[in-house]
Structure 1
Amino acid sequence: MNSKSQVEASSLDTVKLLLAVGIIVSGIYGFYYLDSYSQLLRVLGLLALVGVASFIAYTTAVGRTVWEFASSSKVEVRKVVWPSRQETMQTTLIVFVMVLIMGIVLWLFDMMLSAILKALTGTG
């Protein structure tokens, strides 16, 4: 993480964020209100409004902080050592086998308790 000092959000930033949220909400409303138009046009219009709202939100201190966080997250994901296909298949097989074994054990336990209950109540 970056050790930069926190930037105080001004009232203009709050107005910009509210404007961005308003644009997105109005875009979603318009998407459903204008259902007589082509869905492609409605989706493209909604994406354009989301892009405009994102640009407005980016101009705020909070928006820049979120962008920096996303950028640093992308760098951290590149550092992850991902398992190979063979390791993934082996782990998946172990999980399936353990789920099967636990299912059988719980089924046997249920059958045993059911037999005991039937013997105690005399309904068997």
Structure 2
Amino acid sequence: MASTQVETVTPGADKVRLGLAVLLVIGALVAFYMLAKQGPVAQWVSLIAGLVLAAIVFLTSESGKRLIAFGRDSWREVQKVVWPTRKEALQTTAFVFVFAVVMALFLWFTDKTLEWVLYDLVLGWRQ
């Protein structure tokens, strides 16, 4: 029985887009530091413009398109979530806090009981 494997081959143009996006990010950072004498406005404009161009180039690549599709699918899933009402959220939060206090008291009582049994009854250190 032969198994079929599907391999995703990234075309050369896609690799060029990703490389160009990386170069644009590097160029934006270099421009930011090279334009220090021109003032902060020129620095930030060059940085933001370079990063926006890099993002546009990345989003036109296959990886970018998959990222956009993932974001759309994630948004659809978030819209399917049934969020609790304010009353339900407050009740659940109160329950968690009460449970934490009860558990803390139980563990404290257990600790003190074991301490009394071991140190007073078994070892006799506190007599």
Fold similarity call, TM over 0.5? yes
Amino-acid identity (%):
32
Q: Determine if the alignment matches structure 1 residue 107 to structure 2 residue 108.
A: yes
Q: Partner letter of residue 93 of structure 2?
A: T
Structure 2 segments unaligned to the other structure (5+ residues): 1-6
CA distance in 2, matches of 1:123, 1:27: 71
Task: Tell me which of the two structures has the higher relative contact order, counting C-alpha pairs closer than 8 angstroms and 6 or more residues apart.
Answer: 1
Q: Are 1:118 and 2:116 an aligned pair?
A: no
The equivalent residue for 1:71 is 72
- After superposition, the Cα gap between the structure-2 partners of 1:23 and 1:109, relative to the gap in structure 1 and judged at 3 Å, is farther
- Residue 110 of structure 1 aligns to a residue whose secondary structure is helix
| Matched position secondary structure for 2:107 | helix
| TM-score of the two chains, using structure 2 as the length reference | 0.69
Q: Could you say if the C-alpha distance between residues 34 and 94 of structure 1 is closer, same or farther in structure 2, counting changes exceeding 3 Å?
A: farther
Letter in 2 for 1:61: E
Equivalent residues of 2:17, 2:61 under 8 A apart: yes
Are 1:20 and 1:57, in contact at CA under 8 Å, matched by a contact in 2?
A: yes
- Read off the aligned partner of 1:115 and give its amino acid letter: W
TM-score, normalisation: structure 1: 0.70
Q: What is the deviation of 1:28?
A: 6.1
- Which runs of 5 or more residues in structure 1 are unaligned? 1-5
Other structure's SS at 2:10 match: coil
Counterpart residue identity of residue 12, structure 1: A
**Contact preservation (8 Å) 1:9, 1:62:** no
1:3-52 Cα distance to aligned partner (Å, 9 max, x none)? xxx863223322322443454466568778988965x8766654443322
Q: Is the 8 A contact 1:8 1:61 kept in 2?
A: no
1:3 paired residue number: none
Q: Which structure would you say has the larger Rg?
A: 2
- CA–CA distance in structure 2, aligned partners of residues 109 and 19 of structure 1: 64
Deviation string 1:43-64 (CA, Å, 9 cap, x unpaired) is: 6654443322221111111110
Report the CA distance between 1:98 and its aligned residue.
Answer: 0.4
Instruction: State the match for 1:80 in structure 2.
Output: 81
CA RMSD of aligned residues (A): 3.3
